[in-house]
Amino acid sequence: MCLICKPDRASVIKKVRILAEAHSGLEVTPENYLKACLELFDLWFYQKDFSIQVNPGFGVVRLLLSQSRLSDCIMSENCQMHFISVSPEGDVYPCNRFYGFDEYKYGNIVKDNFEKLLENPKRQYLLKRNASEIEKCKQCSISRYCHGGCIHHALVHYGSFSSPDHLCIVYQGIVEHAVKRLNHELKKHLDPLKKER
């Protein structure tokens, strides 16, 4: 059995949930986060010089326009194909959100061979995560963009890597909003070209 699947992870999830309950009310709801993201998206999208990149806006537009599989870690096809995180002590994790949780550590970059770290069974398990196997994502129109979202969010909020991110509503809202804004801008720029013909 993969080390990442051991029942031991339940204690980690329980600790995180206890912390979350102790600080209940501090977390922004997905609905409020979406509202803030849409406002930030518009501020970013309509800025004159594009000198500041705001995420998730910039990453979503880049993803939509390029059809690239690499975007922000949350919207990459599988974050483990493109990202790892190294702590100041050299410990390697799936991402910085897992710092301090030894059950998710791949090894240590100072002590271990880098190729061995990448072949770690924990990482290999996470590499298999796919939105097409997450029940909620199977019928979702944007799963090809968000790919099920953040593995850490899925684990903390639903106790499983094979669950979707709890911020689905946010990703769906941002993608739909970005598509509307892009279509509007394209139409605005293409209409004068049609009249010239």
pLDDT in tens, 33-89: 999 989 988 988 888 876 777 777 777 888 788 766 555 677 777 778 888 899 999
C-alpha 125/C-alpha 103 separation (Å) is: 13
**Backbone CA torsion sign across 94, 96, 83, 71:** positive
C-alpha 116/C-alpha 193 separation (Å) is: 56
CA distances from 96 to 52, 104, 110, 156, 175 (A): 24, 11, 17, 14, 25
Classify 28 as helix, strand or coil: coil
C-alpha 109/C-alpha 46 separation (Å) is: 42
CA distances from 10 to 76, 125, 156 (A): 26, 17, 10
Please report the pLDDT score of residue 111 as a whole number.
96
Inform me whether the pLDDT recorded for 21 exceeds 60: yes
**Token pair belonging to 51:** 């000198």
Please report the pLDDT score of residue 196 as a whole number.
66
> In the predicted model, what is the mean pLDDT of the chain?
82
**pLDDT level of residue 3 (50, 70, 90 thresholds):** very low
Nearest to 94 by CA among 120, 132, 56: 120
Return all residues near 36 (Cβ < 8 A) that are at least 6 apart: 28
Inform me whether the pLDDT recorded for 168 exceeds 80: yes
**Token pair belonging to 36:** 């803030």
Inform me whether the pLDDT recorded for 103 exceeds 60: yes
Residue showing tokens 């990459």: 76
- Is 97:107 a contact under the CB 8 Å cutoff? no
CA distances from 137 to 7, 78, 151, 167 (A): 25, 14, 14, 12
Nearest to 89 by CA among 113, 118, 110, 65: 110
**Token pair belonging to 147:** 């790919």
Please report the pLDDT score of residue 5 as a whole number.
42
- Is 169:34 a contact under the CB 8 Å cutoff? yes
